[in-house]
């Protein structure tokens, strides 16, 4: 079961399923709000919207489970995981409220919005907000630092390879020192106040070489913390590559 949640045909299940959740769920929640406050369109679209809420909530649950399976392999982006859990709970609550609302309002012609209707709208708004926060923090965990690194590499024309030999005695390095080691051939990065020579780690990183290349020559603290969230295993893997302090 864990392998099914982790990958399909070499692609992470989470990356495939999450698109269903972040597209279907907010669209269905928006449609539900419209149905509740515009009763004249309720009979035409109530069933379709209710089915979409159920489908989107199911996708959110599978995305959460597959995200946890992926996190065991590459590290856990804490904020993204927390928002994902909250979204799953909110989506479940919205599903229950929507089913009750659909059953109670079926065939009802009154234009007065019931307390149940207002409560369901509040749950739908919560789902919309949590969907945005979950998607935003997920995008940060994947892309933060990578675009900046690409732009930096593009502005530097064929830099000369730097020596990967470093002193075993811890020194103090600054941003200018890091910039001299911004390629895969010589990759230094500052993480949480320490400087690491990650050259030999680039092609060994379980999450792929591109993740490490994205923090070469710069402070990679935000990306590291966002991806691993203080987990002990990634920190232990990083320790042997420490060469000094970052000033």
Span 189-245, pLDDT tens digits: 999 999 999 999 888 887 778 888 889 999 988 888 877 766 778 888 888 999 999
Please tell me the pTM assigned to this model. 0.59
**Closest Cα partner for 100 from 45, 54, 59?**
54
CA distance 180 to 186: 8
- Statement: residue 6 has pLDDT above 80: no
Q: How far is CA 94 from CA 32, 82, 120, 137, in A?
A: 10, 18, 7, 22
Q: According to the model, what pLDDT value does residue 46 have? A: 93
Task: Indicate the pairing of strand 186-191 with strand 194-197.
Answer: antiparallel
Residue 236, CB-side half-sphere exposure with 13 Å CA sphere: 4
The mean pLDDT value for 25-48 works out to: 92
Residue 234 burial (10 A CB sphere; 0-12, 13-18, 19+): buried
CA distance 113 to 116: 8
3-state helix, strand, coil in the chain (%, to 5): 65, 10, 25
List, as one string, the DSSP characters of 198-212: -GGGTTT-TT-HHHH
Element (H, E) at 176: helix 175-179
In the 8-state DSSP scheme, what is residue 81? H
Among 4-8, 13-17, 51-55, 125-129, name the one with the lowest average pLDDT.
4-8
Which CATH number is 147-246 given? Answer: 3.10.120.10
User: Which residues make beta-bridge pairs with 194?
Assistant: 191, 245
The mean pLDDT value for 16-43 works out to: 90
> Is residue 243 within 8 Å of 177, Cβ to Cβ?
no
Q: How far is CA 225 from CA 78, 81, 95, 232, in A?
A: 8, 13, 34, 11
Question: Tens of pLDDT along 42-100?
Answer: 888 999 999 999 999 999 999 888 887 766 666 656 788 888 899 999 999 999 999 99
- The three-state secondary structure class of 82 is helix
- Statement: residue 2 has pLDDT above 90: no
């Amino acid at each position: 079961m864990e392998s099914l949640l982790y990958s399909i045909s070499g692609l992470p299940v989470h990356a495939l399923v999450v698109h269903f959740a972040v597209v279907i769920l907010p669209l269905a929640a928006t449609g539900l709000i419209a149905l509740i406050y515009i009763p004249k369109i309720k009979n035409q679209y109530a069933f379709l919207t209710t089915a979409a809420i159920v489908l989107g909530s199911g996708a959110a649950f599978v995305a959460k489970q597959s995200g946890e399976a992926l996190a065991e392999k590459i590290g856990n982006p804490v904020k993204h995981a927390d928002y994902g859990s909250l979204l799953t709970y909110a989506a479940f609550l919205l599903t229950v409220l929507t089913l009750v609302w659909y059953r109670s309002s079926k065939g009802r012609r009154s234009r007065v919005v019931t307390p149940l209707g207002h409560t369901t709208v509040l749950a739908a708004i919560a789902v919309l907000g949590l969907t945005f926060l979950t998607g935003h923090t997920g995008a940060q965990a994947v892309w933060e630092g990578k675009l900046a690194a690409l732009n930096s590499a593009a502005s530097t024309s064929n830099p000369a390879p730097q020596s990967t030999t470093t002193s075993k005695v811890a020194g103090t390095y600054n941003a200018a020192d890091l910039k001299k080691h911004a390629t895969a051939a010589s990759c230094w990065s500052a993480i949480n106040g320490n400087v690491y020579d990650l050259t030999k780690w680039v092609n060994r990183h379980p999450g792929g070489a591109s993740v490490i290349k994205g923090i070469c020559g710069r402070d990679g603290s935000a990306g590291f913390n966002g991806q691993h969230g203080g987990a002990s295993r990634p920190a232990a893997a990083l320790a042997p590559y420490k060469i000094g302090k970052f000033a």
